[in-house]
Structure 1
Amino acid sequence: MSAVNDPALPDPQSADPSGADSKALREAFLRVRQRTLSLAAPLSAEDAMVQSMPDASPAKWHLGHTTWFFERFVLGHDPGYRPIEPDWHFIFNSYYETVGPMHARPMRGLLSRPSLQEVVDYRQMVDERVACLLSGGVDPEVLEHLTLGLHHEQQHQELLLTDIKHALWCNPLRPAYQPELQAVTGEARPLEWHRVDEQLVEVGAPPWPAATAFAFDSESPRHRVLLQPHALASRPVTNAEYRAFIDDGGYRTVDLWLSDGWARINAEGWTRPFYWDEDLEREFTLGGVRPIDPAAPVSHLSYIEADAFARWAGARLPTEFEWEHAAAPLPVRGNFADRGLLHPAAALGPVDAGAPMQMFGDVWEWTSSAYAAYPAFRPLPGSLGEYNGKFMSGQQVLRGGSCASPADHMRASYRNFFHPPDRWQFSGLRLARDIR
């Protein structure tokens, strides 16, 4: 199975969660599940067990956890259901305190058992049971849980890639996840500024499942915000532009950095983006060590690095609402995982005249907005209410998806979130500036 040539997945949002279109949802379920196995196919059993840091998880755990989610919240909706391996509930639960205890996250790499093959077999058994369930009439609440589970699995598809990238980078041999990944180079489009006048705009998504289109609860409800006059950069910051920041002493200039950021870069010796070599000419990719493309969006930056660069450039990071307002009218297309590059690239193909470029795909774009609840936010009922709301503390919002994100998983209202020092994700930035 190839991780780069799979056809695009059908949109799970196209299935009617009322139960009228369980066949379409069944097809989406099988395709999403197969896609995850395809992404794991290049990994050995040894690769799949490695946990290189507490924030990352082994590929084997991703395979098991996403399966547990469907077993627990879809099949387990039936009070008479009996789990396939009851003891695995403990090791594959992630953070759902209301459904029981869980194995400590930093210890997931110690799970030599069950074996990789046993986890794959577990996936197959759960897949068969869910597919059988979807062959008949299904409770609408079960279909809602399954739809959420598909989007949950797509999140873990991206995490599987970013986590194994970190694990392979930790290996002194710097082995490639897929040596045959295509490397493309291009030219960065000239940087332009798109002016936005002061205005009251609507952002966010209508609450799902009341609304037809899927959105996580943290994206809701739709509400109005006042945008101040500002300008948004036409594209993300490139490797060449970030190199200029480094060459100008950006990592040695204290007044560019937030206090926590200055302490972090000095304590950990940061002098360049994650995965860049010391020579600033090469970087580690999922295809191995390759030359840095100056025109590609810079990636694997923390929020504190993105903020420091913006100060150096005489600009700032956009708010998440400025970003969403610019992205909302645009089609959701770009360099996503479906394209098979699994690495940021300069703008490929045509762009929309007069609109910002690369709003979707390539790199998650840090915003200046803290990950917090929208006005009148309501989490999903029951245990699934633990999915987002309880993490609304000490994290920043990122927007737009990356080269490791599934294309049909993205939308303008999507809110990703990470802690300010996190940099193992495909995270970059787009500049904004105030207009007086």
Structure 2
Amino acid sequence: MQANVSTKIDLLEIYKDVRAHTQHLCEPLEIEDFVVQPVMDVSPLKWHLGHTTWFFETFVLKPNVIDYKEFHPKYPLLFNSYYISAGERWTRANRGQLTRPTVKEVFAYREYVDGAMHQFLSKNEVSKELKNVVILGCNHEQQHQELFLYDIKRILGDNPLYPPYREEKKNIKKVESKTEWLNVEEGVYEVGFQGEGFHFDNEEGRHKVFLHEYQIASGLVTNGEYKKFIQDGGYRDHMLWLSEAWDWVNENQINAPRYWHQEDGGEWWNYTLNGYEEIDDDDPLCHISYYEADAFARWKGCRLPTEQEWETACNIYSPNILQDANFVESDHFRAIRTSGFDFFGNVWEWTSSPYVAYPYYNPPEGALGEYNGKFMVNQMVLRGGSFGTSKNHIRSTYRNFFHPHLRWMFSGIRLAKHI
């Protein structure tokens, strides 16, 4: 949510739009879908609904509304995530143990806080600092909307019935495109956020980097390309894998991307949010760990781009988001072939860069200072957004980050190479 806010009406409309989209994502679900937590990385869907509501209650309403009455005194314990400064937290791994509050009660919590937020934002002049907190809360909810989709796919995708989340209602226009190499000349470039509008603190501060000449692929790695890696024994060749990655492959018996299944006849199928389908070779690859992305790049005689290379190439070749870029608003809920270079949307793209602070990084004080900086260790950066990302949430400087073994998120590969 990057729009500049000039009036309290604008701020209220932004808030209402974001909250309404969360409701839209909930529409196809049954009550049972909201309560499951199969693994620690997956939160029950009702927890996402409660947590994003807790954010506004904790950081907007309680400090700024006189005589505000908390919806429930124990909800801060249940719905705080990792903000140590904001109080005690329920253990992440045990979120699925909580049958109460019920889903109905969590929706009532959202309605209660929405009512209070509407009243507060419509009747009060909000300071610049507080506007920034509200906009941060909206961007925070957009992040959880995408996590919501990761988690419901994990919940439904491991069910032997392979129930669809939403069935595809739109005809997907087939786009023919050939991946080529885009050249970026040697030089000094600037990376990091500058200008007006919302951005996360980890995108600061803008700084210069020297890049050797390199090439970056004009498109994403496809399912068909990755099939060749599998057929060539990519998962059995230890020379392609980092040591830690090779241990991960063997300990977890990994032999294909997440949600891929090889049927008796040898054909590959996968679970998508539209249901169980035969894999389309032309679609962008999805649900790949950093370990797999790195191994595939080695197999191709290439490498993954650094995040500085990715951002620079994006700014040169695709500075604006294309009309047909595949974001959550497209309602495809899957990666599809699109026109252009696909720097934005479809799948988050792994880079070879560790998630660390930029020069001049200065997180805010208090609980909100815990948003990004405390995670700057043992994680890798991804860029570009996905089909689960809101279009107004992404930009070329956006730094997503995950541990290298994870792949339940919508992640894929763009290759690079030295010249």
TM-score range, shorter chain: over 0.9
2:272 alignment partner AA: T
Q: Does 1:270 align with 2:258?
A: no
Partner of 1:39: 25
Partner of 1:260: 244
1:284 alignment partner AA: Y
Partner of 1:106: 93
1:23-64 deviation line (CA, Å, top 9, x unaligned): 111101001001001101111111001112101111100011
Structure 2, unaligned stretches of length 5 or more? none
Q: Please give the residue correspondences for 1:109-258 in structure 2 after superposition, counting only pairs within 5 Å.
A: 109-135=96-122, 136-182=124-170, 184=172, 186=174, 189-206=177-194, 212-258=196-242
Contact (CA 8 Å) 2:2, 2:199: kept in 1 or not? Answer: no
Partner of 2:4: 15
Give the SS at the match of 1:294: coil
For the residues of structure 2 that align with 1:272 and 1:187, how far apart are their CA atoms?
26
1:371 alignment partner AA: Y
Partner of 1:413: 397
Give the SS at the match of 2:118: helix
Q: Please give the residue correspondences for 1:8-87 in structure 2 after superposition, counting only pairs within 5 Å.
A: 12-16=1-5, 20-78=6-64, 80-87=67-74
Is 125-134 or 231-240 further displaced after alignment? 125-134
Partner of 2:353: 369
- Per-residue deviation at 1:182? 4.3
Contact (CA 8 Å) 1:368, 1:396: kept in 2 or not? Answer: yes
Q: 1:311 aligns with which of 293, 298, 301?
A: 298
For the residues of structure 2 that align with 1:140 and 1:98, how far apart are their CA atoms?
23
1:260-316 deviation line (CA, Å, top 9, x unaligned): 111101111111110011235211001110111101110000000000000000000
Partner of 2:335: 344
1:291 alignment partner AA: E
1:310 alignment partner AA: A
Under a length normalisation based on structure 2, what TM-score does the superposition of the two structures give?
A: 0.95
Equivalent pairs: percent with the same residue? 47
Contact (CA 8 Å) 1:338, 1:406: kept in 2 or not? Answer: yes
Q: How many residues align?
A: 410
For the residues of structure 1 that align with 2:169 and 2:53, how far apart are their CA atoms?
28
For the residues of structure 1 that align with 2:73 and 2:131, how far apart are their CA atoms?
23
- Per-residue deviation at 1:65? 0.3
1:66 alignment partner AA: T
Is 38-47 or 242-251 further displaced after alignment? 38-47
- Per-residue deviation at 1:189? 1.7
For the residues of structure 2 that align with 1:107 and 1:388, how far apart are their CA atoms?
23
- Per-residue deviation at 1:176? 1.2
1:315-351 deviation line (CA, Å, top 9, x unaligned): 0000001110111252123101110101001124xx3
1:217-243 deviation line (CA, Å, top 9, x unaligned): 001111111111100001010000000
Distance 1:80 1:221, change over 3 A: farther
2:396 alignment partner AA: A
Regions of 4+ moved over 6 Å: none
For the residues of structure 1 that align with 2:33 and 2:300, how far apart are their CA atoms?
40
Structure 1, unaligned stretches of length 5 or more? 1-11, 352-356
Partner of 2:310: 323
1:38 alignment partner AA: H
Contact (CA 8 Å) 1:286, 1:343: kept in 2 or not? Answer: yes
Under a length normalisation based on structure 1, what TM-score does the superposition of the two structures give?
A: 0.92
Partner of 1:391: 375
Q: Please give the residue correspondences for 1:293-304 in structure 2 after superposition, counting only pairs within 5 Å.
A: 293-304=280-291
Give the SS at the match of 1:83: coil
For the residues of structure 1 that align with 2:230 and 2:255, how far apart are their CA atoms?
8
For the residues of structure 1 that align with 2:301 and 2:177, how far apart are their CA atoms?
20
Q: 1:88 aligns with which of 44, 60, 75?
A: 75
Contact (CA 8 Å) 2:347, 2:386: kept in 1 or not? Answer: yes
- Per-residue deviation at 1:80? 4.5
Distance 1:184 1:277, change over 3 A: farther
Contact (CA 8 Å) 2:8, 2:121: kept in 1 or not? Answer: yes
For the residues of structure 2 that align with 1:290 and 1:28, how far apart are their CA atoms?
36
For the residues of structure 2 that align with 1:183 and 1:243, how far apart are their CA atoms?
25
For the residues of structure 2 that align with 1:247 and 1:150, how far apart are their CA atoms?
44
Partner of 1:335: 326
For the residues of structure 1 that align with 2:274 and 2:307, how far apart are their CA atoms?
32
Is 302-311 or 174-183 further displaced after alignment? 174-183
Root-mean-square deviation over aligned CA pairs: 1.4
For the residues of structure 1 that align with 2:355 and 2:67, how far apart are their CA atoms?
39
- Per-residue deviation at 1:187? 5.2
Is 276-285 or 150-159 further displaced after alignment? 276-285
2:86 alignment partner AA: V
Contact (CA 8 Å) 1:217, 1:388: kept in 2 or not? Answer: yes
Give the SS at the match of 1:129: helix
- Per-residue deviation at 1:247? 0.6
Give the SS at the match of 1:398: strand
Contact (CA 8 Å) 1:96, 1:383: kept in 2 or not? Answer: yes
